[in-house]
Amino acid sequence: MNPRTLYDKLWDAHVVHQEANGTALIYIDRHLVHEVTSPQAFEGLKLSGRKLWRAKTVLATPDHNVPTCNREAGIVDVVSRTQVETLDANCAEYGLNEFRMDDSRQGIVHVIGPEQGFTLPGATLVCGDSHTSTHGAFAALAFGIGTSEVEHVLATQCLWQKKSHTMLVKVDGYLPAGVTAKDIALAIIGKIGTAGGNGYAVEFGGSAIRALSMEGRMTLCNMAIEAGARAGMVAADEKTIAYVEGRPQAPKGAAWEQAVAYWRTLHSDAGAAFDALVELDAAAIRPQVTWGTSPEMVLSVQDKVPNPADAPNPVKKTDWERALVYMGLTAGTPINQISIDKAFIGSCTNSRIEDLREAAHVARWAIAHGRKVAANVKLAMVVPGSGLVKAQAEAEGLDKDFVAAGFEWRDPGCSMCLAMNADRLEPGERCASTSNRNFEGRQGQGGRTHLVSPAMAAAAAVFGHFVDIREVMK
Amino acid sequence: MKPFTPLHGLVAPLDRANVDTDAIIPKQFLKSIKRSGFGPNAFDEWRYLDRGEPGMDCTNRPINPDFVLNQARYQGASVLLTRENFGCGSSREHAPWALEDYGFRAIIASSFADIFFNNCFKNGVLPIVLAADVVDRLFQETLATEGYCLNVDLAAQTVTTPSGEVIAFEVDGERKHRLLNGLDDIALTLQFTDQIKAYEERRRVEAAWLFA
């Protein structure tokens, strides 16, 4: 057999039926469901009188609308509450495994899937959410779908797909201290652009990727969609297997041995051909900060806000001008002089235990240096990705570090990444955020988002403006 | 799904690259559990001057006169002309629902984000990819001519300008067939029930851990 890429292997293992024109019917092993993109799918099933194909492949949880404080009081916003109650009712009616809002395992779909061992190497996994690419960190084929396809998967366990082109993003070398998977992700997007991965399934490889923890790989694959790629993935290795082992839904006994033997084959073969190759030198990546309204509008913390006159083409020039107006920034301003109003540490990109440890490290540094969250910062919130991440962080005492340094410690959910619950920016407010999108209005109408790593967000909260984490933590 | 019939439509020019689905339909409207009624909130933050919330009567809201779709000459438009990477970001199908409910049946751009592109075909909306220089020219013609309309013929895979210029576009054969006939994807897939079951039987053995 010809050498195959990881994507080829995952694809080949899931073809149910191949049409002559290249379209294939692909089998879906795992389906994550949340409250926002599923109600219309369940409604469609009911209207057509169709049954679920295989209920056991579904794991559901409410995450977008849930409050991150005072949860005992329930959801105040009636429309949000109705959406969560609709998910509860649909899951009960169809016999689906759901972690409800009051379940200790509830959290962001992309955090709980891996945490539960629901996400497995070699599986196909979908969700009505673009950040489903996260699960590719486990050498799974994972991608976001729309609500019509959610309904399609519920009813048929399959999707019609055309095979994507393949791109290898190779990051070699050693990451400097203070530079994280988030910075790699932003540096890649800065290099190839927010449409650079359109039509591609991206595999992240190279020594710097191998060196990342599973949390780091999830952060990286999570952001693949911000480069336009529906799916991002990393080859399976011993870290992958060690992460999955012992998780509640991971295989056990003989099934585990059988699975692991297969998982060890989940890498691109030597000599496998990719349609595109992008290379980065890890040692050259510095802490990244977005300055505009697209994740591709990104620079290092040592840089200055760019001048639209320097844009590569007229369309980009207009984009940059518009972005500067929206962001309330002037060309030439050093990034590290931009002050913030709020800081948000959380989201499916950066709310796992490792992310919280990195941020808490900064909080402890602040306490040790007699500092707290700066006076000009109205709110610095830490929102763990799941109830289990929260419990783990509390067992390690991270919550106390955060609170002592002036951060708020919240309950798990998507929170201010997209502000569907009560957590949001007010018009004109500027936020250092560990989330994934700095689009206009993403964190609240008129809000200004700067995407950064957890340590960079925590440091910005402490100093009141962006700082180079490498300087602070020297 | 409504079949896509030949369209003679007024063109509205949205001259921005990387228009994301958050802009097409802001998050607060995603709280709806319905599939319809998103049109009045399409491009809500650009279109109105106040903060939109679900349940508001949009007919009384202050309109942003600077937003292109609010100009009198573009009222009733059914073809949206825009720039590269349209529909990037969130997978929310509410975006094509909102555009369709607003009245758009076809969207022309030099490229689209993958998930949005796919979602359009599920909702009777035709995304058309044309070369960037052709899109440029259509922008110029649209801006220069009030009442500028295009004919969009999916069967023939052509866009025809008022001057009679015929521009061909590519579309996947299967998607074209389904859109032209307004076919239900799920019903078609269920015709493959035997193949799906056979696949599952095979996988129960070779990847048993996925069926535990």
Alpha helices in chain B (DSSP H): 21-24, 44-47, 94-102, 114-121, 132-144, 173-181, 185-190, 193-206
Q: Residues 94 to 133 of B: which have CB under 8 A from any A CB?
A: 94, 96, 111-115, 118-119, 122-123
The yes-or-no verdict on residue A42 having pLDDT over 80 is: yes
Predicted-complex ipTM score? 0.96
- Please, which pLDDT band fits residue B2 given cuts at 50, 70 and 90? confident
For B99-145, give the DSSP string.
HHHHT--EEEES-B-HHHHHHHHTTT-EEEE--HHHHHHHHHHHHHS
Q: What value does the mean pLDDT of chain A take?
A: 97
In this prediction, what percent of chain B has a pLDDT beyond 70?
100
Contact B186 A152 (CB under 8 A): yes
Taking the Cβ of residue A97 and every Cβ of chain B, the question of whether any pair is shorter than 8 Å is answered with: no
- What pLDDT was estimated at residue B97? 98
| Chain A residues whose beta carbon lies within 8 Å of the beta carbon of residue B55 | 79
In this prediction, what percent of chain A has a pLDDT beyond 90?
98
- What pLDDT was estimated at residue A87? 98
Torsion angle, CA of A219/A220/A225/A227, rounded to 10 degrees? 140
Nearest-Cα distance to chain B for A314, in Å, is: 11
| Both structure tokens of A264 | 């060890």
- What pLDDT was estimated at residue A473? 83
CA A184 to CA A331: how far, in whole Å?
Answer: 25
Taking the Cβ of residue B27 and every Cβ of chain A, the question of whether any pair is shorter than 8 Å is answered with: yes
In this prediction, what percent of chain A has a pLDDT beyond 70?
100
Taking the Cβ of residue A183 and every Cβ of chain B, the question of whether any pair is shorter than 8 Å is answered with: no
Which residue does chain B place closest to A126, by CA atoms? B91
- CA B55, distance to chain mean position in Å, is 24
CA A174 to CA A188: how far, in whole Å?
Answer: 16
- Please, which pLDDT band fits residue B132 given cuts at 50, 70 and 90? very high
Residue-wise pLDDT for A332-364, tens only, equals 999 999 999 999 999 999 999 999 999 999 999
Taking the Cβ of residue B140 and every Cβ of chain A, the question of whether any pair is shorter than 8 Å is answered with: no
For A195-243, give the DSSP string.
TTTTTEEEEEESHHHHTS-HHHHHHHHHGGGGGT-SEEE----HHHHHH
Taking the Cβ of residue B210 and every Cβ of chain A, the question of whether any pair is shorter than 8 Å is answered with: yes
With CA atoms as reference, report the closest residue to B142 among B81, B100, B85: B81
- Please, which pLDDT band fits residue A109 given cuts at 50, 70 and 90? very high
The yes-or-no verdict on residue A41 having pLDDT over 80 is: yes
Which residue does chain B place closest to A226, by CA atoms? B89
Please compute the mean of the pLDDT values over residues B161-175 and round it to a whole number. 96
- Please, which pLDDT band fits residue A112 given cuts at 50, 70 and 90? very high
| Both structure tokens of A109 | 């779909």
Contact A37 B93 (CB under 8 A): yes
The partner residue sitting opposite B88, judged by closest CB among A40, A157, A194, is A194
Residue-wise pLDDT for B176-210, tens only, equals 999 999 998 999 999 999 999 999 999 999 999 99
SS3 at position B162 = coil
Taking the Cβ of residue B207 and every Cβ of chain A, the question of whether any pair is shorter than 8 Å is answered with: yes
With CA atoms as reference, report the closest residue to A90 among A43, A151, A156, A36: A43
Contact B91 A145 (CB under 8 A): yes
Burial environment of residue A281 by CB neighbours within 10 A (0 to 12, 13 to 18, 19 or more): middle
The partner residue sitting opposite B54, judged by closest CB among A48, A79, A158, is A79
- Please, which pLDDT band fits residue B88 given cuts at 50, 70 and 90? very high
A interface mutation test: which of B90, B111, B116, B171 has the most A CBs within 10 A? B90
Residue-wise pLDDT for A294-326, tens only, equals 999 999 999 999 999 999 999 899 999 999 999
- What pLDDT was estimated at residue A434? 98
Taking the Cβ of residue A29 and every Cβ of chain B, the question of whether any pair is shorter than 8 Å is answered with: yes
Residue-wise pLDDT for B47-74, tens only, equals 999 999 999 999 999 999 999 999 999 9
Taking the Cβ of residue A192 and every Cβ of chain B, the question of whether any pair is shorter than 8 Å is answered with: no
The partner residue sitting opposite A259, judged by closest CB among B113, B200, B209, is B209
Q: Residues 161 to 200 of B: which have CB under 8 A from any A CB?
A: 172-174, 185-186, 189-190, 192, 195-196, 199-200
Q: What value does the mean pLDDT of chain B take?
A: 97
SS3 at position A461 = helix
The partner residue sitting opposite A16, judged by closest CB among B31, B115, B199, is B199
- What pLDDT was estimated at residue A315? 87
Taking the Cβ of residue B49 and every Cβ of chain A, the question of whether any pair is shorter than 8 Å is answered with: no
Residue-wise pLDDT for A371-403, tens only, equals 999 999 999 999 999 999 999 999 999 999 999
Taking the Cβ of residue A19 and every Cβ of chain B, the question of whether any pair is shorter than 8 Å is answered with: yes
Taking the Cβ of residue B16 and every Cβ of chain A, the question of whether any pair is shorter than 8 Å is answered with: yes
CA A364 to CA A371: how far, in whole Å?
Answer: 9
- What pLDDT was estimated at residue A474? 78
The yes-or-no verdict on residue A182 having pLDDT over 90 is: yes
| Chain A residues whose beta carbon lies within 8 Å of the beta carbon of residue B190 | 155-156
- Please, which pLDDT band fits residue A1 given cuts at 50, 70 and 90? confident
Taking the Cβ of residue B31 and every Cβ of chain A, the question of whether any pair is shorter than 8 Å is answered with: yes
| Chain B residues whose beta carbon lies within 8 Å of the beta carbon of residue A37 | 30, 91-93
With CA atoms as reference, report the closest residue to A185 among A454, A379, A470, A461: A454
pLDDT higher for B103 or B212? B103
Taking the Cβ of residue A251 and every Cβ of chain B, the question of whether any pair is shorter than 8 Å is answered with: yes
Please compute the mean of the pLDDT values over residues B30-47 and round it to a whole number. 96
Which residue does chain B place closest to A294, by CA atoms? B18
